[in-house]
Amino acid sequence: MKTQVAIIGGGPAGLLLAQLLHVRGIDSIVLERRSRAHVLGRIRAGVLEQGLVRLLEAAGCADRLHAEGHVHHGTLIAHADRVFRIDFSALTGSPVVVYGQTEVTRDLYAARDAARGRTEFEVEAVTIHGADTDAPQVSYAVGGEARRIECDFVAGCDGFHGVSRRTIPDTVRREFEKVYPFGWLGILSETPPVSEELIYANSERGFALCSMRNPRLSRYYIQCAPGERAEDWSDAAFWDELRRRLPADTAAALVTGPSIEKSIAPLRSFVCEPMRWGRLFLCGDAAHIVPPTGAKGLNTAASDVHYLWHALCDHYLNGCDDGIDRYSGRALARVWKAERFSWWFSGLLHRFPDQSAFDLKMQAAELEFLRTNTAAQQALAENYVGLPY
């Protein structure tokens, strides 16, 4: 088989890149190691920056988002039984949109189907050949049948555990990582959200987050110790602990119910440099991971797609390779800013096992400064709604 761009990974980053390339007449093949049902069954966050919304519009995949997504003009932060609001729209002129990542992926698959784009599922033994040459190839197997793609470029959108990053030689690749000493225990429940906007809570018992997918579907998280198992938490134990971490008025208004999904996510910060080796480009989790505190995972993947899409369009449509040559530097400049924000916001809201009494006082002072200082709120808001591409 031959194509212009081989895309490894059929999650939102790979699908968005494929659809954006399609609307500009550039061919691609998408390879996904899981089944389509598995990809659409993954529960992920859904706070979208306007940059991602505009990319989905450019891809022709934003109709349902605009019909069903919820525009949030701010967020709430709770500490010491006090709640204050960060007004995104007043401080930056821009809101965010709450629309589940699963729904983004569903819309992108529908567009891929309509475009009759080729997507291979349940692929195995994916190997990238000749990424540092002018004629890269990708070999793989489906149901035991060996297959090979000849292509101009390879986009590695296959996540942290994928093959793409590992294809870059150890002598070239440099990785930076911070592992946090806690995780997030999250549940999804068919209950009305406790608030119209997200609530980030710092309590003496640990962090909590009140989020939502729609007016009938809520997503809640609590900070938990590493090594804990989701199955060891009953629904009742989760709801009781969540209430203890929320302001009294919020806890009293909480509507509880059976969980329909429960899981624990570890937290880490991770960056790989460079994000390009020859004709191989890394996008999204293949190159970087952020803790979910700042809702930057999907959004940072989208900014990678933005830079790569424009670079490939310049190559094919304008005969210019400046965007390809500058892809890694451009993407990493924004990635590191998102990493900084997610690291800072995580440090502000979580309890760390080695925090001293002085550290806790500094954390409380930082929260109070944020509550009372417009410039600090604006800095948070600018990062949360998304820095420019």
Rounded-to-integer distance, Cα 328 and Cα 266, Å: 27
* Tokens (6 digits) for 210: 């009140």
**Residue 211's CATH number:** 3.30.9.10
Q: How far apart are CA 239 and CA 233, in angstroms?
A: 10
364 and 329 share a domain? no
Q: Both 183 and 321 in a single domain?
A: no
Looking at the 3D structure of the chain, how many domains does it have? 2
C-alpha distances out from residue 5 to 39, 286, 362, Å: 21, 17, 50
Residue-wise DSSP of 47-101: EE-HHHHHHHHHTT--HHHHHH-EEE-EEEEEETTEEEEEEHHHHHS--EEE--H
The residues that are catalytic are: 72, 200, 292, 296, 384
Same structural domain, 278 and 357: no
For the chain (389 residues), the mean pLDDT of every run of 10, in chain order, is 98 98 98 96 87 98 97 97 96 97 96 98 98 98 97 98 98 98 97 97 98 92 96 98 97 97 96 98 98 96 98 98 98 98 98 98 98 98 98
Same domain for 221 and 159, yes or no, is no
pLDDT in tens, 200-256: 999 999 999 999 988 999 999 999 999 999 999 999 999 999 999 999 999 999 999
Between the two ends of the chain, the Cα-to-Cα distance in Å is 34
What is the residue type of 248? A
Does residue 91 sit within a domain? no
Supply the pLDDT for residue 42.
Answer: 82
CATH code where residue 40 lies: 3.50.50.60
pTM above 0.85, yes or no: yes
* 306 belongs to a structural domain: yes
In angstroms, the Cα distances linking 37 to 49, 327, 369 are 26, 32, 46
Which two three-digit tokens encode residue 115?
A: 């475009």
- 255 and 277 in a single domain? The answer is no
Positive/negative CA dihedral, 88, 291, 332, 162? negative
Regarding whether 232 and 137 lie in a shared domain, the answer is: no
Q: Is residue 79 part of a domain?
A: no
* Residue 25 Cα distances to 58, 113, 307, angstroms: 13, 16, 17
Q: Kindly give the pairing relationship between strand 28-31 and strand 174-189.
A: unpaired
Domain that holds residue 338: 5-71+97-177+268-346
Nearest to 263 by CA among 187, 321, 179: 187
